[in-house]
Amino acid sequence: MLLGALEAGGTKMVCAVGDETGTIYDRISIPTSTPEKNMPELTAYFQQYDIKALGIGTFGPADLHPASPTYGCITTTPKPGWQNFNLMGEFQKALHIPIGFDTDVNAAVLGEAVFGCMKDISTGIYITIGTGVGVGVMVNRQLLHGMLHPEGGHILLARNPADSYKGFCPYHENCLEGLAAGPAIEGRYGQKAVTLKDIPEVWELEAEYIAKALVNYILVLSPERIVLGGGVMHQEQLFPLIRQKTTAYLNGYLTTKQLEDMNNYIVPPSLNDNQGILGCLQLALDAL
Ligand code: ADP
Ligand code: ZN
């Protein structure tokens, strides 16, 4: 059975066609511009196939509540043209099939939960550290929505006293995203993050902020596994630093078998950066 998947991101839209086993048959990626430009391209792509349902994982904030009059809409994004845009509704009009709708990071956690490294656990989180920071949360095998959906990139952190970079989040001076997403590294050091690979203090500070955030997520959500993805996490030297600092900040307060096995607790994505699109396939299946 063919299913459609759309990962709607701030920089690119990834569309794919696959099936319920997680096999992907075709995929395209188009740059995110305006709905006027993107929507005809996106619907035309899916209309080529006999897909039975579509799953959308979108950048946010978005309305995920089926009973809400604005269900399926992107809401307050600063992205020009996308404010209050009825993303799901436009696909419903064009495709007339069931549609699943969630955030991009919830799709990623779902992908790992069904096809990857969270198969064996019930509560876990997926964090992307890229252009922004997003946190997808699965609790007892359900994706967490709550009031809106988690916006874990914007939790406030204790700043390193020696860090004078003011942060790039327009809302918060010291949130995780503003201090530690890719643009923060670039703003602090004046060059692309990837070119700073061999400067240890860059990654010490980056790991400090990420570990501080993880401690908060661990204490509040009690995840059994934490997956860290996104462009910045391609710097693999971050993983051991983050594991050490997370252990240090927890300071022995919790003793669990998971925290004793940090290499299997704080992990990279297991699905070759397909976790988001596979999660969208599962959203499609769940919508059927
Ligand atoms: P997006 O968040 O737009 O989906 P990415 O997850 O690739 O895309 O994140 C892009 C950000 O990650 C940019 O700020 C970029 O500088 C940073 N980035 C991408 N690749 C690397 C890398 N190999 N090392 C460090 N930073 C990276
Ligand atoms: Zn913020």
In angstroms, rounded to a whole number, what is the distance separating the alpha carbons of residues 116 and 269? 8
In this structure, are 159 and 261 located in the same domain? yes
Within 8 A by CB and 6+ apart from 260, the residues are none
Question: Which domain does 228 fall in, by range?
Answer: 117-267
In angstroms, rounded to a whole number, what is the distance separating the alpha carbons of residues 60 and 75? 7
pLDDT in tens, 62-75: 999 999 999 999 99
Residue 110 lies in a domain: no
In this structure, are 84 and 128 located in the same domain? no
In this structure, are 80 and 126 located in the same domain? no
Amino acid 191: pLDDT? 97
Match 């509540």 to its residue by tokens: 65
* Average pLDDT for 155-175: 97
In this structure, are 230 and 281 located in the same domain? no
Q: What's the CA-to-centroid distance between 193 and ligand 2, angstroms?
A: 20
In this structure, are 227 and 278 located in the same domain? no
How many domains are there within the chain? 2
Residues touching ligand 1 (Cβ under 6 Å) are 9-11, 130-131, 182-183, 192-194, 230-232, 234-235
User: Residue 20 is part of a domain; what is its CATH number?
Assistant: 3.30.420.40
Contact 163, 170 (CB under 8 A): no
| Atom 7 of ligand 1, nearest CA residue | 231
DSSP 8-state code for residue 222: -
Amino acid 78: pLDDT? 79
Amino acid 77: pLDDT? 84
- Residue of 174, 169, 172, 160 whose CA lies nearest to 245: 160
| Atom 13 of ligand 1, nearest CA residue | 182
Q: Which atom number of ligand 1 is nearest to the Cα of residue 9?
A: 4
Alpha helices in the chain (DSSP H): 35-47, 87-95, 104-115, 176-180, 182-189, 200-221, 238-250, 257-260, 275-287
In this structure, are 98 and 121 located in the same domain? no
* Average pLDDT for 202-220: 98
Contact 136, 109 (CB under 8 A): yes
Question: Quick one: what percent of the chain has pLDDT higher than 90?
Answer: 97
For 52, the 3-state DSSP assignment is: coil
Amino acid 125: pLDDT? 98
| Ligand 2 ion: Cβ-proximal residues, 5 Å cutoff | 154, 169, 171-172, 175, 178
Rounded to two decimals, the pTM is: 0.96
User: What average pLDDT is seen over the chain?
Assistant: 97
Order of all β-strands in the sheet with 3-8: 24-31, 12-18, 3-8, 54-58, 99-103
Question: Quick one: what percent of the chain has pLDDT higher than 70?
Answer: 100
| Atom 9 of ligand 1, nearest CA residue | 130
Residue 211, pLDDT above cutoff 90: yes
In sign, the C-alpha dihedral spanning 210, 206, 268, 78 is positive
In this structure, are 126 and 85 located in the same domain? no
pLDDT in tens, 75-131: 998 788 999 999 999 999 999 999 999 999 999 999 999 999 999 999 999 999 999
Order of all β-strands in the sheet with 124-129: 142-143, 133-139, 124-129, 225-229, 266-267
pLDDT in tens, 221-250: 999 999 999 999 999 999 999 999 999 999
